[in-house]
Each structure stands twice: as C-alpha cells, then as structure tokens.
Structure 1
Amino acid sequence: MSAKFNPSRLRLARVRRQLTFKSLSDRVGMSARMVSEYEKEYCKVTPPPETIEAFAHALNYPVEFFLVPEPIETVSKETVSFRSLKRMRAASEHAAIGAGQIGVMINDYFDSRFSLIPNNIPDFRGVEPEAAAEGLRAEWGLGTFSIGNMIHLLEKHGARVFSLTENTYDVDAFSFWKGDVPYVFLNTQKSGERSRFDAAHELGHLILHKHGVSQGKDAECEADKFAANFLMPKATLLPYKGKTITIDGVLSLKLNWKVSAMALIVQMKNVGVLSDWQYKSLIITAGKFGLRSREINGIEREQSIVIEKILSALESEGISLHKLAEELLLPLDEISGLLFKFGVVRNNDMPFGGSASASKVPHLRLVQ
C-alpha cells in the first residue's frame, strides 16, 4: 500500500456514515483524538496499512477510496439550501453535504464521458417569488399548463438531480450551485406529490438565492412561495373562485397539478379562491382524512431520465452499477442511493477492489 492516505476522504466517509470521532474510534480500536488527527488536512502522521484497512472495514468503504491523492471537491455549507433545516440534526446535515460531494464526483465522471445538458437556469436574485415563478414559466415556454414531470424539467434545463435514501426524514431535499452547475437532491421517502413540491422549492432556491443565502425562515418562505406559484399558477386557480369546494373536490382537482391536497388548499387560500371560512373548514377536514402526512390516490414518485439514459449507455459498454462503483472507488450503496436505484442492490454485494480503467468509447449526447 504505497499510495498516500487522503485525510479528507476519511472525513467524508465518516460523516456519510454519521459516526462521531468516538464511535469510529471504538470500531477501529484507537482513541478519538487519533481519529481526529488523521482527518486533519496537514496531518503529519500517516496511518499504517492495517489502520487504513480498519477504517475501510468500519466505514464499509473500499481501501482504495482513502488513497486517492486528489482533493475532494468541497461543498460549502453556506452555499447549500436545505428544505426543513429547522428539524435537521447536525449529523444529518453533514451527511447530506457529504452526499453532495459524492454527487459532484459522480457528475464529474459522467461529464467526462458524455456531453451533458448545459445549465439554462436563470438568476432571479432580488425578484419577488411570485414574479419569479411567472417569469420562469414564460422564459421556459410553459404557459400556464400543469408541469408533467418536475425532475425531467429540471434536467432539461441543466440541473443535476440525484436521489437521497438517507435513513431519516430530517433531510427532505437540498440544492446548491457548484460553479455554473446546479445540483438538486431529493429524498425518496416522500410521497410523489411532496417530492414534486420539494423539487420546485429547490428550483426556487437555485434561481432566487444563487450561490448561497443565509439560512432562515425568509429564504424558506420565498422558496415555498415560488414553488406554489410555479406548480399552481394563480390564473389556473381563479376560475374556481366562488364555487363550492369540498374535500372530494380538492382530491379530484389536485390531480390537475400533481400536488398534495394540503398544498392545493393553501395555494387556493393565498390567491383568493377560498374564503377564510372555506379554508379553515377544508384544513380541518383534511386533517381528519390524515392528509397532513399522506395522500389519497397519490401519484408515483418521479425519476431521473438523464441518469437512466447514462446508466443504460454505460451498461451497453459493460459498465454495470457494480462496475461503476468500482471505477469511482465508492461503496455500492452510495452509488445506488444517489442514482435512483434504491432497493435494487445491497452494499455487501460489492467486492472492494481496485479501480478498473474505463474503455475509450465515443461520447453520447443526452437530449430531452
């Protein structure tokens, strides 16, 4: 084992597994202080091969992952916009940012092999959320039609969309810019309707708060307002003003916009379709139906079409998901969890080995 140990990769693997210094040190049989020292960028002490192997075993990462000399692309906390940050534990936040770093690594690999769709997401900083939603619909030629698929729309305009299979509801979704490339990560535990709203919410962050904004209630409210108006334009709701709207009517109408019943009720109130009395009545009834946490006749979760095309192209070259994990020196669960392949493979299916060189093939262009 002659390659030099990379401390930043130890930290990334540790935070992805949501382990503290103490919990990792207990697994490898050393002091927490020593683990901390090994993570320091200018650590003067290189761990012996058996220690690196112990880290790899404890974290379920291949040994070779820790021996790549190139620095990992950093994702600054200040540039990340989290959905539902308020209830997020610090460990979940760090693990999510780690997922973002791995997403950048995967995208770099894809970008080296394929001609990916360029970014076409505008900068609307300083624009009111409602106006930004209307302006973006106009710029993208969407009119007032219902959006068929939010993930496909994001990808059509250059966003890199990844899935999250975090074992927690703490992380609903998050997004960030890395240079001129926008990234969106969506939790796969959510209902199809709520995941669509999360995707629109993160799009709001990308155009309203490009390259970071101080986290807080105001930024979240702006992204929520953008998402509601982007998915449910006021002009499409106003024809229902003055009509008797029951919960059954809401359950039928929500299918037009592919949103949750609660989101539709709130937006109808915000644009003046519902009176205060109608709104309160519908909210109470929706609560009795359990619609605050679930959907009746829900839609399927949306999937990435770009990732599906890439994986299909790689498969045709003999690069399976297992092989891709080996080439990137990543655990199979990290790859499958980010590429909408949750539940398809298990991490212990992956043999940790050295990377294999990718064969030279013509680049493909992925188009919408």
Structure 2
Amino acid sequence: MKQSSLFTDIKTLDYNGDKLRIARVASGLSLVDVGKELVVTRQYAHKLENEAIPSDEQLAQLASLLNVKEDFFFSPRKRPIEVDQCHFRSLRSSTQTLKKMIMAQVEMFDDNFLSLLNEEVDFPEVRLLEVCDKDIQTVASIEGVAEHFRRELGLGLGPISNVIKLAESIGCIVVNLSEADERVDAFSIYNGRPIIVRNTAKTSPCRLRFDISHEIGHLIMHRGVETGCRITEAQANNFASAFLMPRSSFSAEFPRMRGQYFNWEALEELKVRWGVSLKAIIYRASKLGLITPEKAKTGFTTISRSGQAKVENGDDRLITEEPQMIQRAIDMLDSYTWIKLMKQSGLNESTLINRYRLKTPKPHLVSVQ
C-alpha cells in the first residue's frame, strides 16, 4: 500500500462545466433530458456545461440525476479521452452517441477512480512491445510481432490459459462495462496506462478471448494511430490469430479432413484446448494454407446453417474469463482509505457496482460479540 494522498479538499476548486458534460454523456442523457430534470430550456442546460454556474439546488438535482456526488463537478479533467486515441472494435450499427457514452464512462473510471486507486496500490509494470510501421505492413510481419511478443512473455507455443489474466499481468487494466451493448465488441485506449473494456453483453468465451487479444494488438501496433478502418482492424485480427494460435503448433494439431468433410468432433476438441472459436480455427487454417479458401467458406456456411452463429458447440465447456486485478486492489484497501477515495473520486458506490461491476471492499476486521 502506498501512503495515502486523499486529503485534498476539491471543493476549493472552481465549478467545471466540462465534468457535467462528461457525466451526462456517460449516463446516455441528452441536454433535453437535463433541461427537463431542472425545468429549464435545452439552451440553458447547454450553458451549464460552458459558462453558467448551477445553483445549489440544481447541483443537487444534477448529482442525483447523473449518479455522482456534487464534488464531481468541481474536479478537473486530468486525462481527457479524445476519439483519435481510442480503439473501437465495433459493428457498423454502432452510433457516435454510443461511442461517446463509452468514452465518457471510461474517462470517468480512469480520471476519477483509477488514478486515485493507483496512488494506493502498485499495479504491474506495463510490458508492451514497441513496434514501428514497417513491422506491421504485411501479414507475415505481424505474425513475427505476435511470435516475438510471446517469446518476450515466455509463453512458449501452447494455448494461453487465461487471456484476461495475461493482459492484467502485463499492466493492462481490464474493466467491465455493463452498459456497452452488442454493437461494440471491444474498446481500448492507452492514456497513461492501457485500458481494455470487456463488454459484458458478450456471451461467447471464445469471442471474448479474441476481442481482448485484438485490443492488445491495437495497443502494441497502433499507439497514437486512429483505428477503425479496414486496414487497422485486419492488422489487429491478424495479430490476435497469430497470438492465440502460433502457426507451428497450431498447424501440427489441426485435424485432417475426412475426405471432403471437416472432422467437427476433432475441431471442437481443438477449440476447447486453444480457447478459440470454430470460425477462428477455420480462418486461421485457411490463412496458413492448411485448407483452401473454398473449404473455409464451406466451413463458415456449415457453422451458420447449424445455428452456431452466436453460440457454438463447445462454448459450454469453456469458462468465461473475468477481470480480477481492479477488484483485488479494492479489496486491499481498509475502510478509512476506501471512504476517502470515494469522497475524492466524486463517484457513488452504486456507479462502481452497476456500471463497472465492482464490489466495495469488505471490512478487514470484524468485531466478535
């Protein structure tokens, strides 16, 4: 535990309308929604996020509406998150409103909670490769990056038992975000410390592992690069495939075809062993030349027509990985430090519980009657 530094009186700071905007966007509310709550016009609600200062009564209303403490509106934005810093793995149906909401929720977590928690608990050192543009121009070069990273971490060539635990061990913060829906697969940002958002709407343990590996790829290859285009997404997918399924060991274990047909029983066993989806296995086999593109297409069609588009055979044999590092850090805090941390964060405990799926620390000492 580090020496506490939670005694700053943030009420001495000026009102910050930008923090009102962040809290509003994180809650998925519009200026009209805020105006209705305060019984003011949309225009005045907009002014409150700029030059106007709310009354004491309005502050109390805003804090209740946005589920924060009033002190939240008097804290600075220490590490603002901008669009060009973010890596979204999202479907086309996702909206800018949804993306902005997720960005605001991550900023609130990072700026108002994680930064304070980091003063109390030492997190692992960040261990991510430094690569240059020439290292990721071809599929073969990205394969080399993934293999190099495995060697750096001492992973060998076998399956990775727990991808989230691995990400946390190399200094990445993996956090749940309950309000992200299926239109956003994953999200990551390197803003002081790498953060990866785990979308709790996802039910496939294999897709989750691939999503986390995909985001690790972004954090390694695309630091300072705006992503989301076809090229950067393909690069991150190629990294995830190579990272999760090293070519030499995967090629040796890929089951032979039964004439013109896939050996689906053997493929399911391979899936469970490596923790990757049947689609990912077939895609990887095609890219490595173990099967033809035509055979891969046939395999994808079979999976889709058999009702396995979202839930595949073998998913029930795999555990769904959960982040643990932040919760363990919270559990280390004594009650006094926790109360002080929450006060300075400006967040309510219900926000941590419901939005980020965290639990408050249990008392370390219990009186005995």
TM-score (norm 2): 0.84
With CA pairs under 8 Å and 6+ residues apart, which has the higher RCO, 1 or 2? 2
Instruction: Name 1:172's counterpart in structure 2.
Output: 185
Opposite residue 71 of structure 1, the aligned amino acid is R
The 2-side partners of 1:251 and 1:10 are apart by: 50
1:25 to 27, 35, 40: 35
Q: 1:318 to 1:132 in 2, by over 3 A?
A: same
- Give distance in 1, aligned partners of 2:167 and 2:143: 19
Q: Percent identity?
A: 25
Q: CA deviation at 1:2?
A: 8.1
Q: Check 1:189–1:325 CA distance in 2 against 1; reply closer, same or farther (3 A cut).
A: farther
Hey, what does 2:24 align to over in structure 1? 14
Whole-angstrom distance in 2 between the partners of 1:121 and 1:187: 22
CA 1:37–1:65 in structure 2 vs 1: closer, same or farther (change >3 Å)? same
Q: 1:88 aligns with which of 90, 94, 119?
A: 94
Task: Tell me the equivalent position of 2:114.
Answer: 107
**Aligned runs of 1:144-159 on 2, under 5 Å?**
144-159=157-172
Is contact 1:150–1:199 with CA below 8 Å preserved after alignment?
yes
Trace 1:213-292 onto structure 2 (pairs within 5 A). Answer: 213-239=226-252, 240=254, 242-244=256-258, 245-292=262-309
Q: 1:323 offset after TM fit, Å?
A: 7.9
Q: Distance in 1 between matches of 2:236 and 2:268?
A: 24
How far apart are the structure 2 equivalents of 1:100 and 1:203?
Answer: 17
Contact kept? 2:175, 2:197, Cα under 8 Å? yes
Displacement, 1:272? 1.4
CA distance in 1, matches of 2:106, 2:85: 11
Question: Partner letter of residue 322 of structure 2?
Answer: Q
Q: Distance in 2 between matches of 1:176 and 1:51?
A: 34
For 1:147 and 1:266, locate their aligned partners in 2 and report how far apart those are by CA, in whole Å.
19
What SS class does the counterpart of residue 169 from structure 1 fall into?
coil
The verdict on how the C-alpha distance between 1:223 and 1:300 changes in structure 2, with shifts beyond 3 A counting, is same
SS in structure 2 opposite 1:115? Answer: coil
Q: CA deviation at 1:213?
A: 2.5
Q: Shift in Å at residue 325 of structure 1?
A: 4.3
State the partner residue of 1:67: 74
The number of aligned residues is 336
Number of the residue aligned with 2:346: 329
Question: For the Cα contact (< 8 Å) 2:227–2:233, is it kept in 1?
Answer: no
Alignment deviations for residues 285-327 of structure 1 (CA, whole Å, 9 cap, x no partner): 211232221133322221223223212212xx12698886455
Instruction: Give 1:58 deviation, angstroms.
Output: 2.3
1:131 matched residue in structure 2: 144
3-state SS of paired residue (2:190)? strand
The answer as to 2:156 corresponding to 1:143 is yes
Residue 360 of structure 1 aligns with which residue? none
How has the CA–CA distance of structure 1 residues 197 and 276 changed in structure 2, closer, same or farther, with 3 Å as cutoff? same
CA drift of 1:214 comes to: 4.5
The 1:211/1:167 distance shift into structure 2, 3 A limit, reads closer
1:184 maps to 196
Are 1:36 and 2:28 counterparts? no
Change (3 A) 1:232 1:109: same
* 1:365 matched residue in structure 2: none
Contact 2:177 2:200 (8 Å CA) reproduced: yes
Query: d(CA) in 1 for partners of 2:256 and 2:182?
Result: 38
* Distance (Å, rounded) in 1 between the aligned partners of 2:34 and 2:108: 20
Offset at 1:142? Answer: 1.3
Question: 1:340 deviation in Å?
Answer: 4.3
Relative distance call for 1:267 and 1:229 in structure 2 (3 A) is: same
Q: Structure 1 unaligned runs (5+)? A: 346-368
Alpha-carbon distance in 2 for matches of 1:195, 1:313: 28
- Cα distance between partner residues in 2 of 1:322 and 1:297: 44
Please list every run of at least 4 consecutive aligned residues from structure 1 whose deviation after the TM superposition is greater than 4 angstroms.
Answer: 319-327, 337-340
Q: CA 1:333/1:289 → structure 2, altered by over 3 Å: closer, same or farther?
A: farther
Stretches of structure 2 that go unaligned for 5 or more consecutive residues are: 1-10, 137-141, 361-369
Q: Which of 220, 232, 251 does residue 207 from structure 1 map onto?
A: 220
Structure 1 contact 144–236 (Cα < 8 Å) conserved = yes
Q: CA deviation at 1:60?
A: 2.5
For normalisation by structure 1, the TM-score amounts to: 0.84
Contact 2:173-2:326 at 8 Å conserved across structures: no
Contact in 2 for aligned 1:151/1:199 (Cα 8 Å): yes
Map 1:309-348 → 2, pairs under 5 A? 309-314=328-333, 317-318=334-335, 325-337=342-354, 339-341=356-358
1:13-50: CA deviation from partner (whole Å, max 9, x where unpaired): 1101111212221222111111111112xx1x311111
